[in-house]
Each structure stands twice: as structure tokens, then as C-alpha cells.
Amino acid sequence: MTSEFARDAAMTAAIFGFFAMGWFGWAQEHPPKPWKKWLISGSVLAALILVVAGLLSWSIWNTGTVFDRDTSQLFGIIVGIEFGLAGIGAGVLTRRGRRELVPVWIALVVGLHFIPLAPLLRSPLLYPVAVVVIAVAAAAVPVARRRSLPVSAVNGIGVGTTLVTAAILALVDAFARS
């Protein structure tokens, strides 16, 4: 189960679809030529998931959700901390001339933020997503260096694929329970 409520599962699919598009897009910064079609396909698939999940969410919007006043506030705090850490780290890396590490840093922060979100949102799916995104961030630089690939391509395709896979799981779950 991806979430306690169908609406939350559908919104998870929509949000993951949206962000998967971004990661596949970031991977297109300087990818190997053969990767381009796969990255574009990933972006298109993520966009389709976003649209379908968004429409499903809209159609079941008045059903149950884990979000209440307290959950919403804590969610905002966690996401605010995530954005702050991502931005500060990106700024520091850029100032130090390590711009190529920015996507890895952001992936690490994104992966870590899923850990407190999983129990808050009662979404067990977020735990394996956290583990895989953190693993992608940890592996991106050594894999990219060993294979003479751009770090953004390795990191982006890994995170994008993880998010689009999780989006599919959440969308299937949402449809099954709506």
C-alpha cells in the first residue's frame, strides 16, 4: 500500500510524476547521445502520469486524506527544511566551483526528506524511495567518473527512474482503491 487514502496515493503519483520530469530534464544537460531518447521517454511518461494522477486526484478530492491542520504544518516544516538545505548546499557547491555536484546534493536532501515524511503521511512507499534516491546520490559521482559520464546524467536518470516507478505504483494503488 502506498498510502492510507486513495486521494493521497493519487497525489503522490502526481507529485512524483512532476518531479520525475524535472530529474529526467536535468539528466539531459549533457547526456550520452544514446540516452537522449530514453530521457525524453521518461519525461513524457512522467508527464502522462502527472496528468492522469492529477485528474484522478481531482475526481476523488472530497474523499479521505491524511492531511489535517497538524499534518499540514509539519509537512510544511519538513519541506521548508528540505528546500533550505538544498538551496544552501547548492549555493556552497557552486561558490566552491563544484557545480557538477549540485544535482547529487539535491538528490541526497530529497531522499533524506522522505524519511520523516513516510510516517507523517502514513505512506510506506516513501521508505524504499528514500533508500533508492539516497543510493543513487551516493553512487552517481563514482559511477560517472568511472564511466566518463556527466554526473547530472547518471544522477538524473537514476532519480527520475525511481520517482516514475514509485509514481506508477502509487497510481495503480490509487485506482485500485478509488
Q: Taking CA 118 as the corner, what is the angle to CA 69 and CA 163, rounded to the nearest 5 degrees?
A: 115
Q: List pLDDT tens digits, range 47-84.
A: 999 999 999 999 999 999 999 999 999 999 999 999 99
Domain count, the chain: 1
DSSP-based three-state secondary structure for 26: helix
Q: Average pLDDT of the chain?
A: 97
- Of 157, 163, 164, 175, nearest in space to 45 by CA: 164
Q: What is the pLDDT of residue 169?
A: 98
162 falls within a domain? yes
Q: What is the pLDDT of residue 165?
A: 99
Global confidence as pTM:
0.96
- Of 22, 165, 9, 45, nearest in space to 106 by CA: 22
Residue 163 pLDDT level (bands cut at 50, 70, 90): very high
Looking at the chain, the whole-number percentage of residues with pLDDT higher than 90 is: 97
157 falls within a domain? yes
Decide if 112 contacts 134 (C-beta within 8 A). Answer: yes
Cα 1 to Cα 119: distance, rounded to the nearest angstrom: 13
Cα 162 to Cα 128: distance, rounded to the nearest angstrom: 10
Whole domain around residue 162: which residue ranges?
A: 6-177
DSSP alpha helix (H) spans, the chain: 6-27, 36-59, 69-95, 102-121, 126-146, 151-177
Cα 53 to Cα 46: distance, rounded to the nearest angstrom: 10
89 falls within a domain? yes
Residue 1 pLDDT level (bands cut at 50, 70, 90): confident
End-to-end, the C-alpha distance of the chain in Å comes to 13
Q: What is the pLDDT of residue 104?
A: 98
13 falls within a domain? yes
97 falls within a domain? yes
147 falls within a domain? yes
Q: What is the pLDDT of residue 2?
A: 83
Average pLDDT over every residue of 82-100: 98
1 falls within a domain? no
Residue 175 pLDDT level (bands cut at 50, 70, 90): very high
Phi-psi region of 65 (alpha: psi -120 to 50; beta: other; left: phi over 0): beta
